[in-house]
Structure 1
């Protein structure tokens, strides 16, 4: 997972994991996302420390952490707060990142 940059903010499409460093639930959510990236052997998610970005949190009305913010077509399509399981996250990936599942 790589830290989001200003260039990425400007893109029309990304999956952003929002966390705080001392949040236990965030650590569990991160481990799920790390496992997904390991399976696909690529960076899929960007990350952002909510504590360092209060303006972003307010602008996008992020209610709590962990949060997986899904931006598509230049707008926020979804905010996932309940990660539940890897399978649950995959259900969102199938909808918002179907290219991960394309067969050659």
Structure 2
């Protein structure tokens, strides 16, 4: 997982490539569980590195993109959110969801 820095945010958001941004807060226990799920998926060959964004440091992003809670996985491309996932039910469920965006 790769932490987003303020200076890199606009580059990532405007990318023509599919982006996966995991939004969390440091003291959120559910966020830690969700992160472990995503780290498992990230280690599968052919899957991208997820970007991570600390919601506490990016309040403008949270408001502009109407992120309602954490943890949240945002799928976006060309500065457009395609989907926001708030429920991290299982690794296989998240695997299928993420995989569906890889061939778009």
Residue 13 of structure 2: which of 9, 23, 42 is its match? 9
**CA distance, structure 1, for counterparts of residue 72 and residue 87 of structure 2:** 8
Q: TM-score, normalised by structure 1?
A: 0.85
TM-score (norm 2): 0.85
Query: Matches of 2:100 and 2:44 in 1, distance apart?
Result: 18
Instruction: Could you tell me which runs of 5 or more consecutive residues in structure 1 were left unpaired when the two chains were aligned.
Output: 100-104
Residue correspondences, number: 99
Determine if contact 1:20/1:26 at 8 Å carries over to the other structure. Answer: yes
Q: CA deviation at 1:11?
A: 1.0
Runs of 5+ unmatched residues, structure 2: none
Contact 2:13/2:79 (8 A) holds in 1:
no
| Aligned mate of 1:19, from 12, 16, 24 | 24
How well do the aligned residues superpose, as a CA RMSD in angstroms? 1.8
